Amino acid sequence: MEKVNNRVAVLIDAENVGSSNAKQIFDTMSSYGEVTIKQIFADWSNPQVAPWKKEIENYSIVANHQFAFVKGKNTSDLSLVIQAMIILYEKDVDTFCIVSSDSDLTRLVQELRERNKLVIGMGGRNSIKSFVNAFSEFIYLGEQIDHIVLENLPKFDELPKPSVTQNNARPVENKKPKHRPLLEQDKLETMREIIERLIDESGRALYAQIATEMKNKYSDFVPKNYNAKSLKYLMEKLLPVLKNYDVFEESLPTNPNSKIMSLVKKKETTKK
């Protein structure tokens, strides 16, 4: 059976997303299918969006212009909505990618999903939760996270104290690097609940089932957001905090090289 190549439309709000993200946008979306439509929206008389012009040439993007009649008001979002609806009804597209953190586009995302389209969002970590969760998947731009979640953070009185220099010099603070957990606490608790229920039902929790249920609740539960190239690698990063479970691998009967990955309850060791 011939494999169908999905057709992808990428629509970028240039007034909301920086040009430095262009490579990540198109590298990521090429994995979803053939990017047949590439459009970008802005008031191109605004010097702040000028860096995008080089990327427009590099990636052969169609630039749409919309004057901002009110200073400081982003007007490109309305132009983006109009083009998205034209594409929806006139073009053969399977997947839409909306590149923006503008929550005004939430209703557009909902409408596209109601028409059975896969809708991928790409934007900043500052995107509001209701906007993020409107998408089939949401991928954060410009982030690299390579540390695991910490369950027991140090208490305030355990933090290092500022060091004092001699000669009444100004104290030099011990600056700690800013760390954000790999997986937020609410998501970690939700994952544990899913794993426990699946194990209760069938004795094991398949990685694929865990991922499906997590993404149904959190559209940003995507390995790319956690600097992991696949679900398997993301689960490996999380195993240190999923201490009650062991990994179970099972080979497919039709392909011994392919593995079905799941979690099972860790066996209790009895003391002699």
Q: Each residue of 6-25: pLDDT tens digit?
A: 999 999 999 999 999 999 99
Q: Are residue 193 and residue 133 in the same domain, yes or no? A: no
Q: Are residue 136 and residue 210 in the same domain, yes or no? A: no
pLDDT of residue 153: 36
Q: Are residue 106 and residue 228 in the same domain, yes or no? A: no
| Residue that the structure tokens 């009649």 belong to | 69
Angstrom CA distances, 229 to 144, 149, 224, 235, 248, stand at 12, 18, 6, 11, 20
Q: Each residue of 204-224: pLDDT tens digit?
A: 999 999 999 999 999 999 998
pLDDT of residue 268: 67
Residue 170 falls within a domain, yes or no? no
Q: Each residue of 112-128: pLDDT tens digit?
A: 999 999 999 999 999 99
**CA angle 74-79-82, nearest 5°?**
145
Q: Answer yes or no: are the C-beta atoms of 25 and 99 closer than 8 Å.
A: yes
Lowest mean pLDDT segment, chosen from 62-71, 157-166, 185-194, 213-222: 157-166
Q: Which of 140, 158, 193 is the last residue of a domain?
A: 140
Q: Are residue 58 and residue 114 in the same domain, yes or no? A: yes
53, containing H or E segment: helix 52-58
Residue 272 falls within a domain, yes or no? no
Q: The CATH number of the domain where 55 resides is what?
A: 3.40.50.1010
Q: Are residue 113 and residue 230 in the same domain, yes or no? A: no
Q: Are residue 27 and residue 129 in the same domain, yes or no? A: yes
Is 143 exposed, middle or buried, given 0-12, 13-18 or 19+ CB atoms closer than 10 A? middle
- The b-or-e profile of 153-168 (16+ CB within 10 A means b, else e) is eeeeeeeeeeeeeeee
Of all residues in the chain, what percent carry a pLDDT higher than 70? 80
Number of domains in the chain: 2
Q: Are residue 125 and residue 23 in the same domain, yes or no? A: yes
Residue 132 falls within a domain, yes or no? yes
Domain range enclosing 202: 185-265
Residue 152 falls within a domain, yes or no? no
Q: Are residue 133 and residue 198 in the same domain, yes or no? A: no
Averaged confidence pLDDT in the chain: 83
For the cut 90, the answer to whether the pLDDT of residue 163 exceeds it is no
Q: Are residue 22 and residue 127 in the same domain, yes or no? A: yes
Q: The CATH number of the domain where 200 resides is what?
A: 3.30.420
Residue 150 falls within a domain, yes or no? no
Q: Answer yes or no: are the C-beta atoms of 124 and 140 closer than 8 Å.
A: yes
